[in-house]
Structure 1
Amino acid sequence: MEYRIEHDSLGDVQVPADAYYGVQTQRARDNFHITGIPMAHYPRLIEALAYVKQAAAEANASLGLLEEGKCRAICRACEDLLAGRLHDQFVVDVIQGGAGTSANMNANEVICNRALELMGHGRGEYRHLHPLNDVNMSQSTNDVYPSSLRIALILELRELMDAMRHLQKSFARKGEEFADVLKMGRTQLQDAVPMTLGQEFTAWSVTIGEDVQRVDEAEDLVYEINMGATAIGTGLNCHPDYTRTVTEKLVALTTLNLKTSPDLVEATQDTGAYVQLSGVLKRVAVKLSKICNDLRLLSSGPRCGLNEINLPPMQPGSSIMPGKVNPVIPEVVNQVAFAVIGHDVTVSMACEAGQLELNVMEPVVGYSLFQSINMLRRGCLTLADKCVSGITANRERCRELVEHSIGLVTALNPHIGYDRAAEIAKEALRTGGSVYAIVLEKGYLTREELDDILKPENMVRPRYICRK
């Protein structure tokens, strides 16, 4: 491999001759062998950094601080990144020390060397365009990294909400399909009262829809950025009009409703939006996992379980038990939920670890949030397309369980009183007899009254009862 020599304040470093990154990226590459996941794994973060760097260049040029030729070259390099080019040059591990300095420098150096190339110069010829003096002008890692992280999170969250809506619609369609399937509802895993399978699936659709709203609300907090804060929020080394100008440029480039924090000192140290967002992602995970538990229970069997629904068979389930098919899709979404819950703990600890004017733990915050969002997005799509869309109902099994359930006795409470209803339930359970036959035998109600009261279809919605 051929190398070029680059220099920083610590000395000389060999950088691969064909690399667009430079000396500080190379040092970070050597220092941080942590996850094995480079920044290139998160293209939205690279796009966000490109937006920030282009907005900064345009702002500095409009304020007379950056030469127009240099600005054009920087912007063209950023446009390359936005088009998906050179992402492989973002080689720094996503978890890194330095509060994101290595991520910022990776962006500065790649953009600078691509801009130099566009200007007709060689990589590393920083006398013509400098990664710090020009690409990083009026900036600090402490405003670039969190602002980029927030932009990337917004872009990722939009894809997550799309996936959640897709899953929501899948459950809603099944709710309509199963609207006439009568089944027994359960509380505490015991027979409760009748309902329809459609009501069960519709409820899952509604709960996912509610969580889409909660994610959207949490996203609103992420729109506040701290560009122009520089090191700690005081705006040292930037033009008085830079903060307003760079935010305007960012809004124009991203079409996002970004806004400058009213207090940049507070914004540079505050990570509350990440805590809030992570908590909402945990909420989504917990509720998704509960739904998957329900799907596994309702499909359990096929002979020795509830067996009220059939999940689509996705793969053989055992290396020793022929014919066994497992609920692998709900199982994998359960595991997604467990990982998201763990990431929430990481985000909480990292945000708590901030000290004075800066939280240096934002790289692990970003990594954890990206992991949670991406896993939830893929989990929702997988659950919708490989499980929910193919679920079928065992109609006869559902009806049989309703007709033989002790839970029917609940409908008799308003007519014969709680004590008599409990007596009938105990006798039916002890003897194996039906609720219907026992009530007739005891003469508590007539056959006509029973037929009307115990008709399961009359018990799945509110019904006016005229007491005698």
Structure 2
Amino acid sequence: MNKKRKSYRIEKDILGKVKIPINKYWGAQTERSKINFKIGQNGSMPIEIIYAISIIKKAAAISNFELGILSEYKKNLIVKVCDEIIDRKLDDQFPLVIWQTGSGTHTNMNINEVISNRSHVIMGNKLESEINRFIHPNDDVNMSQSSNDVFSTSMHIAAYTMLKNFTIPSIENLKSCLEQKSYLFKNIVKIGRTHLMDAVPITLGQEFSGYASQIKKGLYSLKNTLNHLSELPIGGTAVGTGLNAPKGYDIKVINYIKKITNIPFKISENKFESIANHDSIVETHSSIKQLAISLIKISNDIRFLSSGPRSGIGEIFIPENEPGSSIMPGKINPTQCESIIMVCMNIIGNDVSISIAGSSGNYELNVCKPLIISKLLESSRLLSESCHSFNINCINGIKPNHHRIKELLNNSLMLVTALNTHIGYEKSAKIARCAYINNSTLKEESIRLGYLTNDEFDKIVNPSKMV
């Protein structure tokens, strides 16, 4: 009779023995974290952090080899496994949540253990109890490093990469589309509004130019944060002093990180600051929040301008993407506007979390690192995807409702503002008030009150000359 194959193996750490699933590469420290922090249904450590730490491990192994403290064979094994992780071949080996130690040590050890045990298998061995590792997770994979400088560095790598490859391009595309609409709508004169009430005329293009300018300035602010974000504290080890890291290690490892990522990273101006605090991410997220605030304003304007179709403002048409009601047939809602507004509200909430977490550095270490980076990456990803969706499913398809724009413009009492410099504020106000009370036109009241002739009124009150 065949014996049933065990579903686990035994590994040891300084606290004793731990059962590990037989098909997993992680080790005792990972399993302890998995057991002790069963918190949250969707709180996994962002995969971008896993890839970023793997880039650091790869760069560190090469640097340690070149500095003569790691053998070439061990270096090659570590690099090979790191490449597998970066290529997404081992995604199921990183089970830990962000709600763990505030330094991210558990995730750093998770990766160290996976690299160690995967190297063991690559060498032709099996994962069994009491593994005699050739590649040690601490002595070899974590050589010249501490979780404190590794995780801090990975935060910057992951954030910069996300912003560069996804967030900034999406925002730039939205800005370009808004600028294009501004140009296309430049000659469409409409009524302006302040305090939600009728104001003097403006062109639809001018209105959209304001939206484009908001996004442009937010994008400028976001890009300006990249310089601070490009500073990496790797080589500072536990508290920034560089204890146990050889001379020249930080320069080498950052040069390799630059080559792998094609991003101009540099050594932190002050490693103590970069490990103990995360003001750079606070700064970056503040710019993301600025964009979120702008997008809420823009989205609300667009859904109000398109409201109706017959009983609202209805000055623009937005794309009809899907039915809007389960009970009202034919109803279409501004769903893209509503979606991006909710995303931006979430981003503002994330900014509060990052602000509080960023202030929670104690002495030489911030102890909210996983929370800070998870919120930054979530906001960056959501902003990227929502801007893309908003752009292609709403902004790109906006068209003016010429008939409604003209109707509302010609019916506005605030065109009377053009008379101020000709007959004075008091007489102009009387014309507007009488037109409102009598439900008549400005022209009719101007003539009835004897202030202007028909031709004089037409010459002065010309909306196209008021913009």
3-state secondary structure, aligned to 1:97: coil
Tell me which of 170, 189, 194 is aligned to 2:201.
194
Residue 304 (structure 1) shift: 1.7
Give the secondary-structure state (helix, strand or coil) at the position aligned to 2:329: coil
Match for residue 117 of structure 1? Answer: 121
Say whether 1:389 aligns with 2:396. Answer: yes
Rounded Cα–Cα distance in structure 2 between residues aligned with 1:262 and 1:405: 59
Q: CA deviation at 1:70?
A: 0.3
Partner of 1:465: none
1:160-199 → structure 2 map (5 Å cutoff) = 160-199=167-206
The farther-off stretch of 346-355 and 111-120 is: 111-120
TM-score using structure 2 length: 0.94
- Residue by residue over 1:238-271, the C-alpha shift from the partner in whole angstroms, topping out at 9 and shown as x without a partner, is 1122122222222222221111123222321121
Aligned to 1:245: 252
The superposition leaves residues 423-452 of structure 1 with CA deviations (integer Å, 9 ceiling, x where unpaired) of: 211111111121122223334334333223
Aligned to 1:207: 214
Query: Following the alignment from structure 1 to structure 2, what is the Cα–Cα distance between the partners of residues 50 and 172?
Result: 40
Q: 1:162 deviation in Å?
A: 0.7
Q: Distance in 1 between matches of 2:75 and 2:343?
A: 44
User: Quick one: which of 75, 81, 88 aligns to 1:84?
Assistant: 88
Q: Which one-letter code corresponds to 1:32 in the other structure?
A: F
Query: Identity over the aligned pairs, expressed in percent?
Result: 39
C-alpha deviation, 1:237, in angstroms: 1.2
What's the secondary structure of 2:17's corresponding residue? strand
Deviation digits for residues 149-176 of structure 1 (CA, Å, limit 9, x no counterpart): 1100001112101111111122223223
Aligned positions of 1:315-464 closer than 5 A: 315-460=322-467
Show the 5 A alignment for 1:45-64.
45-64=49-68
Q: Name the structure 1 match of 2:38.
A: 33
User: In structure 2, what is the Cα distance between the partners aligned to 1:39 and 1:78?
Assistant: 20
Q: Which runs of 5+ in 2 are unaligned?
A: 1-5
Does the 8 Å CA contact 1:73/1:116 hold for their aligned counterparts?
no
| Separation in structure 1 between the aligned mates of residue 218 and residue 121 of structure 2, nearest angstrom | 47
**Conservation of the 8 A alpha-carbon contact between 1:299 and 1:309:** yes
1:128 corresponds in structure 2 to 134
Q: Which residue of 1 aligns with 2:266?
A: 259
Matched AA of 1:22: G
Q: What's the Cα RMSD here?
A: 1.7
Corresponding position of 1:9? 14
User: Does the 8 Å contact 2:51/2:85 carry over to 1?
Assistant: yes
Contact 2:152-2:274 at 8 Å conserved across structures:
no
Classify the secondary structure of the residue corresponding to 2:366. Answer: coil
Secondary structure of residue in 1 paired with 2:201: strand
Match for 1:156: what amino acid? M
Deviation at 1:126, TM superposition (A): 4.5
Partner SS state of residue 232, structure 1: coil
The one-letter code matched in structure 1 to 2:162 is E
Tell me whether 1:105 sits opposite 2:109 in the alignment.
yes
The equivalent of 1:280 in structure 2 is 287
* Aligned-partner residue type, residue 208 of structure 1: I
**Cα offsets for 1:391-442 (capped at 9, x unmatched):** 2221111101000101101111122222221121111111112112222333
2:77 aligns with 73
1:39 is displaced (CA, Å) by 4.4
The TM-score with structure 1 as length reference comes to: 0.94
- 1:466 match: none
Structure 1 gap segments, 5+ residues each: 461-468
SS in 2 for 1:294: helix
Amino acid at match of 1:297: F
- Matched ranges for 1:276-315 at <5 A: 276-315=283-322
Deviation, 1:303, is 1.9
| Inter-partner Cα distance in structure 2 for 1:352 and 1:188 | 38
Aligned to 2:154: 148
Shift of 1:38: 5.7
Q: Is the Cα contact below 8 Å between 1:4 and 1:15 reproduced in 2?
A: yes
Aligned residues: 459
Give the distance between the partners of 1:380 and 1:266, measured in 2 at CA.
Answer: 33
Whole-Å Cα distance in 2 between the matches of residues 80 and 126 of structure 1? 22
Q: In 2, Cα distance between the equivalents of 1:70 and 1:274?
A: 35
Taking the aligned partners of 1:284 and 1:126, their CA distance within structure 2 comes to: 53
- Supply the distance in 2 between the matched residues of 1:301 and 1:438 (Cα, whole angstroms): 31
Q: Secondary structure of the residue that 2:100 maps to in structure 1?
A: coil
Name the aligned partner's letter for residue 411 of structure 1: A
Distance of 1:144 and 1:126 partners within structure 2: 26
Q: Which amino acid aligns with 2:48?
A: R
Bigger Cα displacement from structure 2, 289-298 vs 114-123: 114-123
- Amino acid across the alignment from 1:2: S
In structure 1, give the amino acid aligned to 2:73.
G
CA shift, 1:18, in A, is 1.5
Shift of residue 351, structure 1, vs aligned partner: 1.2
Aligned to 2:97: 93
In 2, distance between residues paired with 1:39 and 1:221?
Answer: 27
Secondary structure in 1 aligned to 2:332? coil
Q: Deviations over 1:83-134 (max 9, x none)?
A: 2221221111123224101111111122222223333333474531111110
145, 154, 160: which one aligns with 1:139: 145
| One-letter amino acid of the counterpart of residue 381, structure 2 | N
